[in-house]
Amino acid sequence: MTPDPPPPTDTPDADGRGRPQLPAPPLPAPALSRLPLPGRALLGRLLSGRLFSGRLHDARTATAVGRLLGLAFAVCLVTGLISHYLQHPPAWAAGSLPTRPVWGYRLSQGLHVATGLAAIVLLLVKLWTVYPRLFAWPPVRGVRHGLERLSVAALVASAVLEVFTGLLNTVQWYPWPFGFVETHFALAWVASGSILLHVAVKAPEIRAHWTARSAGTLRLPAEDGPDRRSLLLGTAAAVGAVTLTTAGQSFTPLAALDLLGPRHPGRGPQGLPVNKTAAAAGIGPGPLPDWRLEVRGPAPYTLTLPQLRALPQTRARLPIACVEGWSAQATWSGVRIRDLLARAGAPPGAGLRVTSLETGGAYRVMEMGREHARDPLTLLALELDGQVLSPDHGYPARIIAPNRPGVLQTKWVTLLEVL
């Protein structure tokens, strides 16, 4: 009597060559048998792992790519938190946000977007390496295995959503009904927690394949080594190509290679990109003869544009950096915010609320803490690179401040309120 064959397994050494062996799907169920023959065959190959019959679906390859992907997600998390808390400072951080270095947000957000784009390549390669395990059959073989599968499902879903919603944000396309900022922030924590849980569950396997000389890796077939190196070199080349053709939108030495970036640092009205035009904000293209700057405080006052221009003017060389990843340096001229607040009788620790002429938008009203309101480089700018602001850049007056997200550099300012 022939003994029953051992049950299939998806451990990395199931075939003695470090490749997962996945069981064939059961005989077609009634639902499966109703599929057309080509669809039935495709589903059978999908469930059995035979759809991708190439090598390198092994723990060593997955670990090598996973290290790079984990590093990319860590950089994205840290820089993303910097961006989020600069835009939405918590109560405990009020009045303590840094204004130096002036290029700080330009660096952190440029790094955030560049690393996020690189993470897309790494995530696709990582999913390819573990593809057979994602469709292992049966999907659950016990409580522990079920919890592991649940953690993998949360990891894959949150990671894919995080990187691809971030990609669409760079081109300002939002084909979903939910708010991007809140969802992106929440997914960052879900993805981070899923990664930590996955690493904890897979720690023995990761340890066995962490380096080329690890015990598990040494048991892999030697002939797979050149192919694995080719895959990793190809991945590095793809990451390099994506970075070189997009990073120029914030890292100006690479501006000439900015082929895929949605913005170019030298293109736009007055040589500077814009996200929202005056027309999109509901601002007329012509002069605004009735415009007044109203300043509310202990000693409120109102200024016309000629009166504002007659005040002492300050010039500052500052970058403007947007959450979408582009940034550019420019020279701004205008009146110091702290001088306008002092004229309104504001106390030394006062903050500021700024209101724009635009008819809508999440950032039509912006609040500024005392650290930026009192900084000598924070201006109500009237000129850009020696020219009067164009309508798309906020004519007649806009905010420009050091180390601050572009969405908070409010354009078409009409009201300042002392807080």
d(C-alpha 162, C-alpha 159), whole Å: 5
Task: Please state the domain extents for the chain.
Answer: 59-257, 269-418
pLDDT digits (tens, 9 = 90+) for 79-109: 999 999 999 998 888 778 999 999 999 999 9
Higher pLDDT among residues 136 and 48, named by residue = 136
Domain 59-257 is found in CATH 1.20.950:
yes
pLDDT digits (tens, 9 = 90+) for 365-379: 999 999 999 999 999
**What are the backbone dihedrals phi and psi of residue 140, each rounded to the nearest 5 degrees, phi first?**
-130, 130
Confidence of residue 41 (pLDDT cuts 50, 70, 90): low
pLDDT over 50 at 281, yes or no: yes
pLDDT digits (tens, 9 = 90+) for 238-267: 999 999 999 999 999 999 999 999 999 999
Whole-structure pTM value: 0.87
d(C-alpha 250, C-alpha 111), whole Å: 9
d(C-alpha 85, C-alpha 205), whole Å: 37
User: Across-strand partners of 317?
Assistant: 331
Higher pLDDT among residues 48 and 173, named by residue = 173
CATH number of 269-418: 3.90.420.10, 3.40.50.2300, 2.30.30.40, 3.40.50.300?
3.90.420.10
Burial class (CB in 10 A: 0-12, 13-18, 19+), 201: middle
d(C-alpha 345, C-alpha 22), whole Å: 74
CA distances from 409 to 169, 240, 255, 371 (A): 19, 32, 23, 15
In degrees, rounded to 5, the angle at the alpha carbon of residue 113 between the alpha carbons of residues 112 and 118 is: 100
Burial class (CB in 10 A: 0-12, 13-18, 19+), 277: middle
Lowest-confidence segment of 3-12, 40-49, 222-231 by average pLDDT: 3-12
Higher pLDDT among residues 143 and 68, named by residue = 68
Give the amino acid at 96: S
